[in-house]
Amino acid sequence: MPKQSVPGAVLDVEMSDEGGHPVVQLHGLMSSRRRDRLLDLDLGIGLSGTRLLRYDARGHGRSTGRPVPDDYRWPVLAGDLLILLETWFPGERVHGVGSSMGVGTLLHAAVMQPDRFSGFTLLLPPTAWETRAAQSVNYMRRADLVEREGVEAFIALDADAPQPPATLGRPDTTPDISGALLPSALRGAAMSNFPARRQITGITAAATILTWTEDSGHPLSTARALLDLLPNASLQVATRPEDVAGWPRILSEDVAGDSVPLGG
């Protein structure tokens, strides 16, 4: 697989080149390209006739990273993304699709370079703004737990937690990040939040928001807030696994609808 150097890490990158519109796909915290496929969150599986760039975020999957919490803050991840786009799609507008942490990364990147993106498909927006505080405390406690008792204790904490109805039947997975880096990634997430609401309102590219119910880490309140703030957004809420199975088709429709040259 190709590699991309960024400050403090080397990213593992995968390109599916069928010509056509450029698309970049991002995963969530503690996930990876591989884990997203297991969880049926690899929406790019339904794309054809595009240039699809997938990569593992720093410290995740096959990418390297450092045990430095600041490295995993969403604005830093957004900087990584923009370096990738300049390398792989210079001078082009790109459709961004991302899940959870990937949503935060895309929003920060869009604030930094609004003309870089032709559209967005935003999966499972996480806690944000006021609801982020409690989640940040949770992440900090879990980082401490990993350092005290190891990754196994961290995994056991959620073993019996109720699952959102739309995820029933999906396989059990474990974090795709090493125990040495997991505490730093959790602390970086704890220090992260969405851009300010007034900045979100300046993101004019079309955005489809996809989420599901009964998930405290990805509350409907965040998805609805983005729907209100983004000038050109729509929202779809999954309540069954069959709804999630339709998300790759939605991404394909989104990409087909926003193929516009840079500056167009």
- Cα separation values, 237 from 27, 38, 104, 136, 173, Å: 19, 21, 19, 25, 23
Q: Give the domain ranges of the chain.
A: 3-257
Which CATH number is 3-257's, of 3.40.50.300, 3.40.50.1820, 3.40.190.10, 3.40.228.10?
Answer: 3.40.50.1820
The pLDDT profile of the chain, 264 residues, written as one tens digit per residue, is 799 999 999 999 999 999 999 999 999 999 999 999 999 999 998 899 999 999 999 999 999 999 999 999 999 999 999 999 999 999 999 999 999 999 999 999 999 999 999 999 999 999 999 999 999 999 999 999 999 999 999 999 887 788 999 999 888 899 999 999 999 999 999 999 999 999 999 999 999 999 999 999 999 999 999 999 999 999 999 999 999 999 999 999 999 987 544 444
Query: What is the b/e burial string over 96-122, where b = at least 16 CB atoms within 10 angstroms of the residue's CB?
Result: bbbbbbbbbbbbbbbbeeeebbbbbbb
Give, in degrees to the nearest 5, the angle at Cα 89 between 83 and 90.
75
Tokens of 170: 């999906």
- DSSP category for residue 177: B
Tokens of 30: 């503690």
